[in-house]
Each structure stands twice: as structure tokens, then as C-alpha cells.
Chains A and B, each alone.
Chain A
Amino acid sequence: MDRPDSLVGRAVAGAYICKDWELRVTARCLDEDLNADEATSFESILGLEIIKAFVKDRATEATASKQIRPLSSGQEIWRLGYGHDHCGATFYDEDEGVIWLVAYGRHRSGAPDDFFPYCKGLDVEGRLLPVQADIARMYRDRDKWFVEAVTIEAPQALKAARETEGEYRCTIGGELGAGLAIEVVEELEATSITVAFKPAGGGPLTEVTLQQGQVLLQSLTCGKWEMIGRMPSRNLEPDEVAFTITLVAGEVA
């Protein structure tokens, strides 16, 4: 997924947005390791030293020079360090485009609360990796950004499509690849808008894409869109769906 440029380098809701991924902290780590509220915003923890190190070290590099091992999660967990003995553990989920801070502590060899045995304990208990609530929160944040972006970008795309001969192609909300074609039928004083969409980053059409497409269609113009099998000038690409709506004189798009 591409992220809107306007968000890159900013803490938004529960994340810090980087160019190629976002940084997040699991609820367990927030609560138990950072003594913060599980639902806290990323901005409110930006002052913590480990979070400063997280942003500094993981904004451009997803991994580090050392891994925390052996763990049973089967995932690569990377050490994040700052100062003499402060340690964090990060997990890069490439499929989702997110780096999680999953644990924080201090490395004092032999101490009962030493960071590495602590990580091992969390791993054995199945509490090291992000859980369903963490990921659902991420999805909700992303859906919110998408909706906000669409309401701004859809009218701009419609304007550009009106000025374009043939089909106007664009990316909406960083996530949806869209093609817009406007046809004016003068004798009927009607305008038809046809829109095809698919995931911007490639990959199969999913339920999420369809939900995002619904927001796009209704942001272009509220009304009864009909699903169709092709664009005016071409067949649909695999993983693409198309919809059309006809507006007669007096109806506004």
C-alpha cells in the first residue's frame, strides 16, 4: 500500500507513518512495558526514549543487525537498542506494511527482569506478537485515513476525468487504483460516469477493495451505481470491477 505523502513523517492515531511502512506499538507493550494506555495515540508517546529510537532506527530500515533468538513464533524479531542497556524488540510484518514494537525492557545479564528472558517468556506465552485487537485497530485507522483521503481526492479525480479525453487513471487514498471515464450524451442531456477499480498495489480484489470502492463511487456522486462488465473503451483487467451511473440534466456529479 502507498501512503499519502501528506501523512509521511507524522504520528497519526496509533501509528507513525513512514514512506514504505508504518510504525506501531502493540497494546500489550504499551500497557505492560511503557505504562501507557492501550488506546493511546502514537503522538503522546513520541517523547519516550525508546519510541524516539524506534522512529529514528526503523523509519528507513525495517531490520537491524541483531535478532532476538531462539523464539517459537517463527517470525524474525529484531533488537532495537538505545543508551547503555535499553532494549526493544521489533517485528516487521511485510505483508501488512507495518513494523511493531512488541516489547521493551532493560538488558542486565543475570537480573530476573533481564530483557532477553523477558522476551522469551512472552514468546512462550504467545504474547509477543501483535494480537487481533492490535491489527483491528490498525485496520480501523487505515480505513479512517482512506475515507478522509477519498472525500478530498474523489472530486479532484472527477474534475480531471472531465478534462481528459478517454479514461483518466489515478490512485485514490493510496490504496485504490481507479480508472474514470465520462461520456456526455448530448441529445439526452445525460452524462454517464464509469469507474473501474482494483487494489493499487496489485494482488487480488478483496472485500476491503470492494468496501473502499463503495466509498469512492458514492464520493463521486451519490446514487444507484450499476455493476458492468467492461469500461467504455476496454475490457476489464483481472482483479478489476467496474460500475456506471447515468445522470440526466439537473443532477449534479
Chain B
Amino acid sequence: MSATTSTRVVRVPENTHNEATRLAALRQVQTGEMLADAWREYMENHREEFAKDLEKTAKLLRDGTLEKLAEFTSRNADARAAKAVERLNSKRAASDASEPAGETKPARV
């Protein structure tokens, strides 16, 4: 495995970041190092699952239709969408329901 590191920013939920930082401190390793370990472990644990999905994809390409292959590719669409909605609603704030809405020019930043 390459020892090359990247300084690119990856956004993770705050809870994940906090837990990873705490655990890394306990294990006396860098947070990034621990996340890299976790990623390798994930790939290793999902290798068989990935191989099965590859087989299924191959079968659909050989014997199925593009429609069926697209359906298989979208098998987690609902779960992905649920996460997207969570992100959209994370900005939700209480507002005075009695305050009328109208159109305004955007606030200057």
C-alpha cells in the first residue's frame, strides 16, 4: 500500500470526527492514520460482497437489459436520498410562523 498522503479536505459528520479523534488519541496514532486503517478494513470486509456485486453486474450486462442494470446500480438510491434529505434539513431553524414571507434582495455578505 502506498505511503503517499493527501492533505485534501474530506468532510465527515462532526460526531465521526470527534469519535475518531478521541480513539486515535487513545491509540496514540494520527486520526488520518486510523481512518486509513478503517478504510482498509472496510475494503477487506466487503471484498466478497463487492465480488458478488461484480458477478451480478456481469450477468446483467450479458443476459439482462440496460434497464435492469440501471435498477441494480440504483439499489441504494433510497438510502442515499435519505442521507441527502438529512443534509438539507440540517439547516432548519425555528422561525416565527406568524412573520409574513415576502421577496427581498439577498443580504449583503
Residues of A participating in the B interface, judged by any CB pair closer than 8 Å? 63, 65-76, 79, 93, 95-96, 116-117, 119-120, 123-124, 126, 129-136, 138-140, 143-144, 146-148, 151, 202-204, 207-208, 210-212, 214-215, 217-219, 222-225, 227, 229-230, 235-239, 241
B77 adjacent to A139 (CB under 8 Å): yes
Residues of A within 8 A of B1 (CB): 229
A225 adjacent to B54 (CB under 8 Å): yes
Kindly state whether residue B23 has any CB partner on chain A within 8 Å.
Answer: no
B92 adjacent to A217 (CB under 8 Å): no
Residues of B within 8 A of A229 (CB): 1-2
Given contacts A66-B105, A139-B74, contact A147 B69 (CB under 8 A): yes
A215 adjacent to B93 (CB under 8 Å): no
Number of interface residues of B (CB under 8 A): 52
Residues of B within 8 A of A227 (CB): 43, 47, 50
Residues of B within 8 A of A140 (CB): 70-71, 74, 77
B43 adjacent to A132 (CB under 8 Å): no
Bound-complex Cα distance A215 to B76 (A)? 15
Given contacts A73-B92, A217-B54, A222-B58, contact A117 B101 (CB under 8 A): yes
Residues of B participating in the A interface, judged by any CB pair closer than 8 Å? 1-2, 4-6, 8, 10, 43, 47, 50-51, 53-54, 57-58, 61-62, 66-67, 69-71, 73-78, 80-82, 84-85, 87-97, 99-106
Residues of B within 8 A of A147 (CB): 66, 69-70, 73
CB distance from B77 to the nearest CB of A (A): 4
Bound-complex Cα distance A64 to B4 (A)? 44
Bound-complex Cα distance A82 to B77 (A)? 35
B93 adjacent to A116 (CB under 8 Å): no
B102 adjacent to A76 (CB under 8 Å): no
B58 adjacent to A218 (CB under 8 Å): yes
Bound-complex Cα distance A65 to B51 (A)? 51
Bound-complex Cα distance A242 to B53 (A)? 16
Cross-chain pairs A/B with CB under 8 angstroms, 8 sampled: A66-B103, A67-B106, A117-B100, A130-B85, A132-B81, A140-B77, A204-B10, A215-B57
CB distance from B63 to the nearest CB of A (A): 10
Given contacts A151-B66, A211-B53, A238-B4, contact A129 B81 (CB under 8 A): no
CB distance from B32 to the nearest CB of A (A): 10
Bound-complex Cα distance A201 to B80 (A)? 18
Q: Which 4 A-B pairs have the closest CB atoms?
A: A74-B91, A72-B95, A235-B2, A120-B101
| Closest chain A residue, CB of each to CB of B76 | A207
Bound-complex Cα distance A65 to B106 (A)? 7
| Closest chain B residue, CB of each to CB of A87 | B103
A218 adjacent to B102 (CB under 8 Å): no
The one of B10, B76, B103 in contact with A79, judged by C-beta atoms closer than 8 angstroms, is: B103
Given contacts A222-B58, A236-B2, contact A208 B103 (CB under 8 A): no
CB distance from A22 to the nearest CB of B (A): 15
